[in-house]
Structure formats: structure tokens, C-alpha cells
């Protein structure tokens, strides 16, 4: 939630949706076993049964589960950290590996391919190849996340409320990290919110590497290997960027500003625009994004805010017309009416009519004049930035 992929239901985009909330119950995943996977002997047999039971009885990822590590459930409200990626209506789950985990005592690794199969051609379309672990806890086998196991040797640096977690080979940019940590408190103050008690900020030079540390051996990203994700209830941030590893603030904005967001009443682009305005996007500051946005609008004179909401142009490098454009609209509303107006807009609803109608009302213009006002503001801001 930075689109995860054209065929994927939005889960964590552009910075994240972020939060990954409770998963919608599905009709049940079909669990198959791949070639060479030993399920005849113990404990493989019991672990496979545990995994199958979890997938069969998984209603969501916030209720206590007897199948999952109690320690992880106490640590993370959204305890199945890959839920927003893998539970997207794909029903074919094939276990391709089940064996003792190298270097971990009393721990087994389960690797699973999630896919769909075309009814007519029987072509397999993979969504993800991911890892989950089985561990011994309180005398029984339970499931556990890959993240703490795959990052157990990574370096940790805590600055104020943020703990930065990164591969040992990375050279830590402390000044950039300190600025990001200070950003958390300053953003909370600006929006009159209590700051999060803590944030765990995992980062590498490449988003594919970061997702792999979470347990996603494969997930369709296309060419977009720079970016971030966040799980806001868990206060978790995941970043992949060689240029802005310690300073990818879009995801921190998601964690800080989550209390303002309502899944029922906040449109996706309104939310992501807010995060882009306050925390940047694609590792670039808000102001630096505007010349590219202005140039795009100049070349597409018929593009409207309504069309951006219903069919946003695809991201091209650091230019995301939807995120950047709604960042400007949020900036305009804040300048016109302050925090109260911005809160009003965030709760206006999810449809284009509701979002744009509220924006026009808060900016005190007729709805049919909103696009012109917005375009002129983008051009003015871009001109200021270019001087």
C-alpha cells in the first residue's frame, strides 16, 4: 500500500496500507503436498496437520489462535505478519518443503507456494512462495513467523522510539536515522496525537531483500524494488532502499497517523496522499515530487481528480500521480481550514463523490471548480520548488 502488483488485491501499497487488518474468511485453502516432502514420519506428520488446521480454521489474524505462538500473539496484534500478502482469495497452497530449520533448535521450516490454477488451460499462476516456522512452545508445536528467525543476526540501533534493524553488512547512517526518529515525535505533535510507544523499523537496500527477511521468498513486485510497507497495529515498518534506508518516512507516517484513519470512511488515495504530504514518497520529499506531477498534468490536460480516484495512472519511477496529487489536495485543505478541516476530509467517505464533494466544501469552491483550483496549486508549488 507502490502497488503490489496488477493482479493482486491491494494489501500494502505505496507505503502501506498499510495496516494489514483482520483477514476476510475464505472458503478454505486447499493444502497439497509437493514432491519429496516427507509427511509420513513424526514430527513432520503432526506439523503438517497443525498447518492444515490453521489454514482451515483461520477466521482472521487478530483473534487468539491455538495454532500460533502465544509469545508472538502477545507481541503483535496482527500476528500472522504475511497475512496481507498471502490470504487474497487464492485457494491453492502447496507445501514444497517441510524439514528441520538449519541453525534453529526444535524448529521446522514450512515453505508453501500460493497459486491459482486456470480452469481451462490449467496454467499455474503463483502469488507467493513464503515461509512459516513450527516451533515448540509450552510443550506443543505451534506456528511462528519467519521475520524474527531470519533477522536474528541483524544489527539493532534504538534511537528514541524507533529501533532500526538491518543486516550487519550495512553501514548505519546514524544522522539520517536520528532525523527519522525525531520525525515521529514532531509529526505526532503536529497532529495532536500521542506518539507510538515504539516502532520496529526493518530495512535493507532492496525491497525484495526486505520481503525475503519477512519470509516472502517470492512476491510479484515488477520492477518496483524500492519502497516500503508497514503494519500499523504492530508498529512495524519495512523498507527497501539503498538511498533512503534510514529515512523512508512515509511508513513512519502510517504508524503515527493511523489513529486518524478509518477503514470505513477514509479513501485509499486520501490516506496515501496524507502520508505522502507528511512523510514523502519513494524516498523523496513532498516538494521534490511536485515538478514531475506538474509536468504530467500539463501533458494530460483532460485528467481529473475523479478519474485519478477511479482509474489512477500507473506509477512511473518516483512519480505516482494519485499519491502526489492527493498529497497536494490534502495540503490545500489543511492550509484552508487547519487540522479540523483535514480530519473532516479524512472521514468524508470512500467514493469519489464523497471525497471530492467534501474537498470542494472545505476549500469553499463549487465542485466543478475543484480540478482547476487543484491544478493551479500544483503548478504554483512546482514553480516554487524549481526556483
pLDDT digits (tens, 9 = 90+) for 338-353: 999 999 999 999 999 9
Distances (CA, A) of 361 to 270, 307, 322, 345, 368: 16, 19, 21, 10, 11
Q: What value does the mean pLDDT take over residues 65-72? A: 95
Which pLDDT does position 15 carry in this prediction? 43
Domain end point (choices 106, 129, 145): 145
Q: Distance between CA 224 and CA 253 in Å, rounded?
A: 21
Number of domains, the chain: 2
Q: Note whether residue 116 is domain-resident.
A: yes
Cell of 71: 509469545
| 51, 37 contact by CB (below 8 A) | no
Residues of the chain above pLDDT 90, percent: 79
- Is it the case that residue 23 has pLDDT exceeding 60? no
- Whole-number average pLDDT of the chain: 90
Which pLDDT does position 64 carry in this prediction? 80
- Is it the case that residue 1 has pLDDT exceeding 90? no
Q: Note whether residue 249 is domain-resident.
A: no
- Is it the case that residue 17 has pLDDT exceeding 80? no
Domain end point (choices 125, 145, 165): 145
The residue ranking higher by pLDDT, 69 or 317, is: 69
What domain range is 115 assigned to?
Answer: 30-145
Which pLDDT does position 283 carry in this prediction? 78
Domain end point (choices 87, 110, 145): 145
Distances (CA, A) of 123 to 85, 86, 93, 111: 21, 19, 15, 21
Q: What value does the mean pLDDT take over residues 34-39? A: 92
Q: Note whether residue 87 is domain-resident.
A: yes
Q: Note whether residue 234 is domain-resident.
A: no
Q: What value does the mean pLDDT take over residues 32-49? A: 94
Q: Note whether residue 243 is domain-resident.
A: no
Q: Note whether residue 6 is domain-resident.
A: no
CATH number at residue 98: 3.10.450
| 97, 110 contact by CB (below 8 A) | yes
Look at 38-52, 113-127, 295-309, 353-367 and tell me which has the smallest mean pLDDT. Answer: 113-127
Size of the chain in residues: 387
- Is it the case that residue 16 has pLDDT exceeding 50? no
Cell numbers 548505519: residue: 172
Secondary structure E strands in the chain: 30-33, 92-100, 107-117, 124-137, 140-144, 155-159, 162-166, 199-204, 216-218, 227-231, 236-240
Give the predicted TM-score (pTM) of the model.
Answer: 0.90
Q: Note whether residue 336 is domain-resident.
A: yes
| DSSP 8-state assignment for residue 314 | P
Amino acid at each position: 500500500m507502490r502497488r503490489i502488483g496488477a493482479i493482486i488485491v491491494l494489501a500494502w501499497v505505496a507505503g502501506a496500507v498499510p495496516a494489514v487488518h483482520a483477514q476476510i474468511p475464505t472458503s478454505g485453502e486447499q493444502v497439497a503436498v509437493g514432491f519429496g516432502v516427507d509427511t509420513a514420519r513424526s514430527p513432520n506428520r503432526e506439523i503438517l496437520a497443525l498447518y492444515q488446521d490453521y489454514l482451515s480454521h483461520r477466521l482472521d489474524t487478530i483473534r487468539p489462535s491455538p495454532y500460533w505462538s502465544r509469545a508472538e500473539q502477545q507481541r503483535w496484534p496482527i500476528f500472522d505478519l504475511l497475512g496481507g500478502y498471502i490470504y487474497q482469495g487464492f485457494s491453492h497452497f502447496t507445501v514444497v518443503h517441510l524439514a528441520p530449520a538449519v541453525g534453529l533448535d526444535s524448529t521446522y521450516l514450512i515453505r508453501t507456494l500460493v497459486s491459482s490454477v486456470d480452469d481451462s488451460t490449467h496454467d499455474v499462476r503463483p502469488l507467493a512462495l513464503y515461509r512459516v516456522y513450527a516451533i515448540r512452545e509450552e510443550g506443543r508445536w505451534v506456528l511462528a513467523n519467519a521475520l524474527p528467525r531470519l533477522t536474528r543476526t541483524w544489527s539493532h540501533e534504538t534511537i528514541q522510539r524507533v529501533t532500526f534493524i538491518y543486516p550487519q553488512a550495512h553501514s548505519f547512517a546514524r544522522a539520517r536515522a536520528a532525523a527519522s526518529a525525531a520525525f515521529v515525535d514532531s509529526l505526532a505533535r503536529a497532529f495532536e496525537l500521542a506518539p507510538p510507544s515504539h516502532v520496529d523499523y526493518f530495512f535493507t537496500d532492496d525491497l525484495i531483500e526486505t520481503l525475503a527477511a519477512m519470509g516472502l521468498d517470492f512476491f510479484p513486485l515488477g520492477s518496483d524494488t524500492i519502497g516500503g510497507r508497514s503494519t500499523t497495529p504492530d508498529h512495524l515498518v519495512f523498507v527497501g532502499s539503498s538511498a533512503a534506508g534510514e529515512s523512508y518516512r512515509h511508513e513512519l507516517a502510517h504508524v503515527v497517523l493511523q489513529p486518524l484513519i478509518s477503514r470505513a470512511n477514509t479513501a485509499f488515495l486520501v490516506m496515501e496522499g496524507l502520508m505522502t504530504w507528511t512523510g514523502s514518497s519513494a524516498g523523496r520529499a513532498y516538494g521534490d515530487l511536485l515538478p514531475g506531477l506538474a509536468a504530467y498534468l500539463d501533458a494530460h490536460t483532460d485528467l481529473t481528480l475523479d478519474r485519478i480516484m477511479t482509474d489512477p495512472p500507473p506509477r512511473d519511477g518516483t512519480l505516482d500521480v494519485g499519491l502526489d496529487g492527493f498529497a497536494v489536495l490534502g495540503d490545500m485543505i489543511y492550509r484552508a481550514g487547519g487540522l479540523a478541516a483535514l480530519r473532516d476530509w479524512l472521514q468524508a467517505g470512500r467514493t469519489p463523490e464523497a471525497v471530492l464533494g467534501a474537498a470542494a466544501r472545505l476549500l469553499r469552491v463549487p465542485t466543478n471548480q475543484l480540478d482547476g483550483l487543484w491544478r493551479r496549486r500544483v503548478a504554483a508549488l512546482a514553480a516554487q520548488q524549481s526556483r
